[in-house]
């Protein structure tokens, strides 16, 4: 049996929604792996908005995009994901196909700069409001980080409160069956109005 990581699974799920020309959001740029994947998936006519509160993450992401000459299809924003609606021009509201969150700290940087559940939930709320009629959000959480267990519990509770007419959610556990193993939350939107 082939085992894939939750990161790969998040990419597979996001990729199953994305078409050329789509709009996508990377809510936590980090080292830019998700942004690169999203930029490749949306094609030349697509657009990715990437957020991080650390300049270092924007630089790392930009360097990665440059390597693939994909920088022109990504708008990098030095801003909290909780403010994404202000940074994404109105013409794209209601058109975001995928938003990806990878929680925790920036690997190789200051481990005290870590995503906070209050802004994560605020950002998820914003992201839901920006989604296209058929769309998905992936959230990779790391309960092994300090405070991460509580974050995962709060994320699970937030998913339970989603409007069931438009959203479904699932939580996928890592195959590493140990305390603190990552957890992937997938929120899917399939609007009744279609």
Cα–Cα distances in angstroms (integers) from residue 121 to residues 40, 100, 118, 125, in the given order: 27, 13, 5, 6
Count CB-CB contacts under 10 A for residue 94.
Answer: 13
Any contact of residue 113 with ligand SAH (CB under 6 A)? yes
State which residue, 30 or 46, has the beta carbon closest to ligand SAH: 30
Q: What does the per-residue mask of binding to ligand SAH show for 9-48, with x meaning CB under 6 A?
A: -------------------xxx------------------
Any contact of residue 57 with ligand SAH (CB under 6 A)? yes
- Residue 138's Cβ-side half-sphere holds a number of Cα atoms within 13 Å equal to 26
CB 193 to ligand SAH: min, Å: 30
Beta strand 47-52 with 23-26 is parallel
The label of the residue with tokens 């509160």 reads 53
Beta bridge partners of 100: 26, 138
Positive or negative, the CA dihedral 60, 65, 67, 71 is negative
Any contact of residue 54 with ligand SAH (CB under 6 A)? yes
State which residue, 59 or 162, has the beta carbon closest to ligand SAH: 59
Any contact of residue 50 with ligand SAH (CB under 6 A)? no
Which region, judged by CB under 6 A, interacts with ligand SAH, from 39-47, 66-74, 97-105, 127-135?
Answer: 97-105
Beta bridge partners of 74: 48
Q: Which residues bind ligand SAH (CB under 6 A)?
A: 28-30, 51-54, 57, 80-82, 102, 104-107, 113, 115, 119, 142
């Amino acid at each position: 049996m082939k085992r894939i990581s939750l990161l790969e699974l998040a990419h597979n799920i996001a990729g199953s929604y994305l078409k050329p020309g789509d709009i996508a959001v990377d809510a936590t740029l980090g080292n830019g792996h998700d942004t690169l994947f999203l930029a490749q998936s949306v094609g030349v006519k697509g657009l990715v908005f990437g957020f991080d509160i650390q300049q270092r993450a924007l630089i790392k992401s930009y360097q990665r995009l440059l390597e693939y000459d994909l920088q022109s299809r990504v708008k990098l924003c030095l801003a909290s994901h909780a403010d994404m609606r202000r940074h994404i021009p109105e013409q794209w509201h209601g058109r975001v196909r995928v938003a990806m969150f990878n929680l925790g700290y920036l690997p190789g940087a200051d481990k005290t700069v870590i995503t906070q559940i209050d802004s994560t939930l605020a950002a998820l709320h914003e992201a839901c409001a920006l989604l296209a009629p058929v769309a998905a959000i992936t959230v990779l959480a790391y309960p092994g980080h300090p405070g991460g267990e509580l974050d995962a519990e709060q994320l699970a509770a937030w998913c339970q409160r989603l409007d069931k007419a438009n959203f479904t959610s699932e939580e996928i556990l890592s195959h590493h069956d140990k305390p603190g193993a990552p957890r992937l939350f997938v929120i899917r939107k399939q609007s009744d109005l279609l």
